[in-house]
Chains A and B, each alone.
Chain A
């Protein structure tokens, strides 16, 4: 019987199998950041264990960093201490760090692909659930807890049960204005937030084949929001073209050899999955969420559903929405374009194309936060910054920012924020804040109109 893409990559990394127990999986690349690594470094230090493979680790500061005045000392004492600790730990253990201000600094899931660390067929981990992003390259990539960060530090391996396999296929033609973010929000709304738990998901079909790498990253990024540890898309020419020439990607003959191997990775035609779903691309429309988990999403033109369930009602009460209500024309004072889901150059091109020649609504505070220094530079070089500034927007500096509001980028209590991030949990963007997840196009349109509009009526 044939093998899936996931099987092929997983099986190539199994060091050993414990009888009636987990397998030892070898990890090719370990990404770390300031929030989930300090306790792991402490653990090793206390036990006198060295970091096994420092050259297989890459560090960046992103979760807890300011997005203005990055050249100045960080005001918040605890944040400053966490960043100092990261620098110290990396220095002591010879781990390369892209610290605040470095030309390669940025959100961990934005910088690893753009520097060529992310490559097809690899196993990658990070103490961050959105590590699933890297699956866009045909990589087994997943988030881990801090105890596991320590395990990878100590051995470059993890003890894991092989997850079950799931395939989500989307075929057909996407409608105008439907972006990769809408595709994944649609899938999660259809399947629910725990449909993928215990599974690794492969996305298949012409919709994903025709997507750019940026789009594929957006899709795989949100796999965890349906509970799947990771999502994957088969590597193809689009993947190889993206990886080619990146700073840390293989070069010349070595690259050609790798490509030959990467071409063997796609799922065999006779392989089977534990669970399969398929959707028609034509049914997908621009999406928004109305509740407090990413599965609570609707087409922007639909009304909030009417379920008789206490958790559902609690969620609507938090959002101050009513069953059966439409979100069109809801006034919105905050818009966030950023996060590891939607902060790549393509996302800013989409937003800029919409706002060009228009003006930001006066009631809106819009935070545009590039995913990395490289993205920020590209925004300037492509003239997008001029477009944004002419429309009344200000660009901030790279980081996770208002996606999780660990820094000062917090949405005030009771306010709605139309956000391109990945989670609309209670208080996710600041205590009492109310998040509405959407694509960069819907977010840009909201910023211009000062309210949610039916974007499908505004596309020429």
Chain B
């Protein structure tokens, strides 16, 4: 997993609420057996019309906006557990998602792929969204060690599980840790399974 400490970047404001993982990556793109290439189809049916032409009204196609931070509406990532959603977002180049609320499974999948979910208050998100819509070149600084997000509208802090924070800063994943506990797991089985 890629390490994450600090990021300074422009951001893309996507004001829609309840963005589900079917929108992030539609089911018809889940036929691959590896993790490569999902970025090409992120938000496929919002980015493109059915005939394959670009939907110029969608914010990702607006050339005024760029950067590796996505600022999205409340309850981001609800629905299906598909980790392909996290692969699609990182594949496209996003490293941070800012929202006022994240769905559970998506949040875990993001953290397992070095994609940082930054949860801010509903008020902060609303103000930030409005500011970015008017000021597309404004930069955001996300500092994981300090758990802070610094934007033109002010600085806010965010919560993250201390264990997951360590993993992201060092690029560790859970498999290494769990395998190191192999003997303890075997002992647990011996004691609890008949």
Contact = CB atoms under 8 A, between A and B. Distances in A.
Q: Do A and B come from one complex?
A: yes
Interface of A: 12, 15-16, 18, 20-22, 24, 26, 35-36, 38-39, 42-43, 47, 49, 63-64, 76, 78-79, 81-82, 85, 127-129, 143-148, 150-151, 154-159, 161, 193-194, 197-198, 224, 227, 229, 293, 310-311, 314, 404-406, 413, 423, 425-428, 431-432
Contacts of A148: 108, 112, 174
A426 B19 CA distance: 10
5 contacts: A42-B34, A143-B105, A151-B178, A157-B185, A227-B78
A197 B103 contact: yes
Contacts of B75: 193-194, 197, 227
B175 A145 contact: no
Nearest to A410: B28
Contacts of B189: 26, 156
Contacts of B82: 35-36, 145
B160 to A, nearest CB: 11
Contact of B175 (A20, A39, A151, A156): A151
Given A197-B101, A227-B78, A431-B50, A145 B112 contact: yes
A47 B173 CA distance: 12
Contacts of B26: 427, 431
Residue among A24, A38, A76, A159 with the highest chain B CB neighbour number at 10 A: A159
A20 to B, nearest CB: 5
A423 B22 contact: yes
B6 interface: no
A49 B88 CA distance: 26
A154 B175 contact: yes
Interface residues of B, number: 54
B41 to A, nearest CB: 12
Given A39-B34, A224-B105, A406-B30, 7 more contacts: A63-B30, A127-B81, A144-B81, A151-B174, A155-B175, A156-B185, A227-B104
Contact of B18 (A43, A49, A159, A311): A311
Nearest to A40: B83
B151 interface: no
A15 B22 contact: no
A147 B107 CA distance: 12
B185 A15 contact: yes
Contacts of A24: 178, 181, 184-185
Contacts of B78: 193-194, 227, 293
B156 to A, nearest CB: 20
Interface of B: 15-18, 20, 22-23, 26-28, 30-35, 45, 50, 73-75, 78-84, 86, 101-105, 108-109, 112-113, 161-163, 173-175, 177-179, 181-182, 184-185, 188-189, 192
B141 to A, nearest CB: 26
Most chain A CB neighbours (cut-off 10 Å) among B16, B84, B174, B182: B174
A229 B103 CA distance: 9
A38 B185 contact: no
A351 to B, nearest CB: 25
A372 B30 CA distance: 22
Contact of B16 (A36, A311, A406): A311
B38 to A, nearest CB: 11
B181 A404 contact: no
Nearest to A86: B33
Contact of B31 (A21, A79, A405, A432): A79
Contact of B50 (A144, A405, A413): A413
Contact of B181 (A76, A78, A157, A427): A157
Contact of A427 (B45, B81, B83, B102): B45
B104 to A, nearest CB: 5
A408 B145 CA distance: 48
A129 B105 contact: yes
A227 B103 contact: yes
A36 B83 contact: yes
A413 B45 CA distance: 12
Contacts of A35: 30-31, 82
Contact of B174 (A78, A128, A159, A413): A159
Contact of B28 (A39, A150, A198, A405): A405
Contacts of A159: 163, 174, 177-178
B83 A49 contact: no
Contacts of A22: 161, 163
A78 B32 contact: yes
A388 B149 CA distance: 59
A194 B78 CA distance: 8
B23 A425 contact: yes
Contacts of B15: 310
Contacts of A423: 20, 22, 79-80
A45 B153 CA distance: 47
A197 B22 CA distance: 18
B181 A21 contact: no
Given A197-B103, A426-B45, A26 B185 contact: yes
